[in-house]
Amino acid sequence: AEIALSCFKGGVCVSANLSIGQFDSHANNDPDQMRLIPEFLSGVDYLMKRAEELKIRDKLVVVIQSEMGRTPHYNKGQGKDHWSIGSIMFMGKGIQGNRVVGATDEKQFLVPIDPKSLALDEEKGIRTRPEHIHRALRELAGIENHAFSKKFPLKIPKGERLQGLFG
Residue 61 buriedness (CB in 10 A; 0-12 / 13-18 / 19+)? middle
How far is Cα 69 from Cα 82, in angstroms, rounded to an integer?
6
Start-to-end Cα distance in the chain: 26
111 with 78, same domain: the answer is no
48 with 89, same domain: the answer is yes
Q: Which of 34, 101, 108 is nearest to 71 (CA)?
A: 108
The last residue of one of the domains, among 93, 118, 145, is 93
Q: What is the pLDDT of residue 138?
A: 95
Q: What is the pLDDT of residue 21?
A: 86
Residue 98 buriedness (CB in 10 A; 0-12 / 13-18 / 19+)? exposed
The last residue of one of the domains, among 63, 93, 123, is 93
69 with 145, same domain: the answer is no
Residue 27 DSSP code? B
The last residue of one of the domains, among 93, 113, 135, is 93
Phi and psi (nearest 5°) for 150?
Answer: -70, -25
Residue 78 DSSP code? B
105 with 55, same domain: the answer is no
* 41-84 residue pLDDT tens: 999 999 999 999 999 999 999 999 998 999 999 999 999 999 99
Q: For the chain, which ranges sit under pLDDT 70? A: none
**What is the extent of the structural domain holding 163?**
96-167
Q: What is the pLDDT of residue 167?
A: 81
Looking at the structure of the chain, the number of domains it has is: 2
Residue 126 DSSP code? B
